[in-house]
Structure 1
Amino acid sequence: MSDELSEQLSPIEAFEREELAKSFRGVLSSAEGKRVMFWVLEQCAIYADAFAGESTNATNYSLGLQAVGRKLISKFDEVDPRLYPRLLLDVAELKAMDRAVVARATEKDEEDEE
């Protein structure tokens, strides 16, 4: 948090801001928290095209979802600019581990059937 902004906050606002930052760090420190945060970003259609053709309402709905996702990413950056890039890398690693677990289970099932 910038010193200039810190000086403008009341003591309670500064306290709440720091507690929220700690909470974000805490959530993103576990694999479970990373999975949930990435799922939330996916639900915000942050990785999808907002344009829905002729349907202005659908496009606006998607843009609204994406605005929430961008706000979340902005908060990650405010807390620590490394959080979001680290989240992306860690989620990619978690998904690779998930695929490996499923592949091993599938191989075991196929061996058991023989």
Structure 2
Amino acid sequence: MQHIDNLELKRRELVNTAQLMLTGEMNLLEGTRRICGLRFSVRDPDNEVFLPIRAVDSETDHFPLGAIRASCSPEYLMRADDEMQTYLNDMSKDILQACSKIVEAFS
């Protein structure tokens, strides 16, 4: 029973993360990284709904997010943030579409 409860909690966390991304309450790249970790916890890591998210994660894993930013120079952060924004301008529609499919598949 405990295993099922934990699995359900992880599914809810996955759906919640995707919903927060859809509403703009979570940074798309931070959410992408979280979803990539959670896909293993919901015991369906190869589900096709994760493919776009996995691609984005792979293409953006060099961007500094979260606490790591404190150890980066301001100049580097400026360049990385510009590159990140350009990437998100191009990919946000695809990321959000993937989030919608994740919500649908795991709700």
TM > 0.5: no
Greater radius of gyration (CA): 1
After TM superposition, the score normalised by the length of structure 2 is 0.32
After TM superposition, the score normalised by the length of structure 1 is 0.30
